[in-house]
């Protein structure tokens, strides 16, 4: 079976799917939609690998430590609320996941990066950057050592500031220039401008769009970015359970809804949906070395 689409960033490894995750997976696979479940800390990374291992085809995993889990942080999103527990990147434990992965289901390290939106009480942005950057750098080198691409997270302190984007790009550039790091990957849930997208392309990174591009007038600038970018540099994703596209906005997201992201890209770029699906799927298979 070949996929119609690949949801390059899902979280069916989260507890919100513990009761019906198998049904969500079945719905996606019935549509020939494949997926990569992305870890946010060790437990969810391990769970992503377990889910992938339990399926012969169509489901893969990424392992990594999300920046919000480096300190205790209250997260209150529309779809999910939780309090993160403090965790540091333990390379030995993550390496064991890779060493035990006999089916080669782990296709990336992620999601990793910087988050200036969820700042714990009592900390400044500079303090949170100093907390997050070292573990981000460790995971970049961990990925390179294992010949895996990275899935990047960055979220700004406020709309239109792009502060986390610039810091993240500068960190990658410095590791490439000063330490000879050889790395590629994708910036997931891209919500910046054309200039920043081009900076990722210069580093041999792709960018991925979510259901945000289906939202109303507030997403018009982002749709313009979609219009300007070459399709060969784009992936599609849901970031489920978050960011459900129209017409499901506000509900729990799932991989089967990635089709609405692809449809919006096709509409914006005036291309057939089949072409968008084919090329974004080829992009994902190439980046993550999915057969």
- Annotated binding residue 178: no
- Annotated binding residue 9: yes
- Annotated binding residue 239: yes
Nearest to 48 by CA among 56, 59, 57: 59
| Terminal alpha carbon distance of the chain | 11
What b-and-e string marks burial along 134-146, b requiring 16 or more CB atoms within 10 Å of the CB?
ebbbbbbebbbee
214 CB contacts (<8 Å, ≥6 apart)?
Answer: 245, 246, 249, 260, 261, 264
Contact 203, 173 (CB under 8 A): yes
Q: Given the DSSP bridges, would you call strands 150-155 and 74-76 parallel, antiparallel or unpaired?
A: unpaired
Round to whole Å and give the CA distance between 259 and 248. Answer: 12
- Annotated binding residue 141: no
Q: Given the DSSP bridges, would you call strands 234-236 and 205-209 parallel, antiparallel or unpaired?
A: parallel
- Annotated binding residue 104: no
- Annotated binding residue 188: yes
Nearest to 89 by CA among 145, 133, 52: 133
**Block residue for tokens 């999601």:** 111
Binding-site residue positions for a divalent metal cation: 9, 11, 111, 153, 188, 239
Which parts are annotated binding residues? 9, 11, 111, 153, 188, 239
């Amino acid at each position: 079976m070949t996929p119609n689409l690949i949801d390059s960033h899902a979280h069916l490894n989260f507890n919100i799917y513990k009761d019906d995750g198998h049904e969500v997976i079945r719905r996606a696979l019935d549509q020939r939609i494949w997926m990569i479940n992305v870890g946010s800390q060790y437990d969810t990374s391990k769970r992503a690998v377990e889910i992938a291992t339990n399926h012969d085809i169509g489901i893969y995993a990424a392992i990594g430590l999300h920046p919000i889990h480096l300190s205790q942080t209250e997260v209150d999103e529309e779809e999910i609320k939780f309090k993160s527990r403090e965790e540091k990147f333990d390379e030995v434990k993550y390496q064991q996941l890779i060493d035990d992965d006999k089916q080669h289901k782990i296709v990336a390290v992620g999601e990793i990066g910087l988050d200036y939106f969820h700042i714990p009480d009592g900390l400044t942005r500079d303090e949170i950057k100093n907390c997050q950057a070292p573990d981000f750098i460790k995971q970049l080198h961990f990925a390179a050592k294992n010949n895996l691409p990275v899935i990047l997270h960055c979220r700004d302190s406020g709309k239109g500031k792009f502060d986390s984007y610039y810091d993240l790009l500068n960190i990658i550039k410095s590791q490439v220039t000063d330490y000879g790091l050889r790395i590629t990957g994708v910036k997931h849930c891209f919500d910046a401008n054309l200039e920043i997208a081009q900076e990722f392309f210069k580093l041999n990174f792709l960018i991925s769009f979510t259901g945000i591009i289906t939202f109303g007038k507030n997403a018009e600038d982002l749709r313009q970015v979609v219009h300007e970018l070459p399709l060969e540099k784009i992936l599609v994703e849901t970031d489920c359970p978050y960011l459900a596209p129209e017409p499901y906005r506000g509900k729990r997201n799932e991989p089967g809804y990635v089709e609405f992201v692809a449809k919006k890209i096709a509409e914006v770029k005036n291309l057939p949906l089949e072409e968008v699906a084919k090329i974004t799927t080829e992009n994902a298979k190439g980046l993550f070395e999915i057969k």
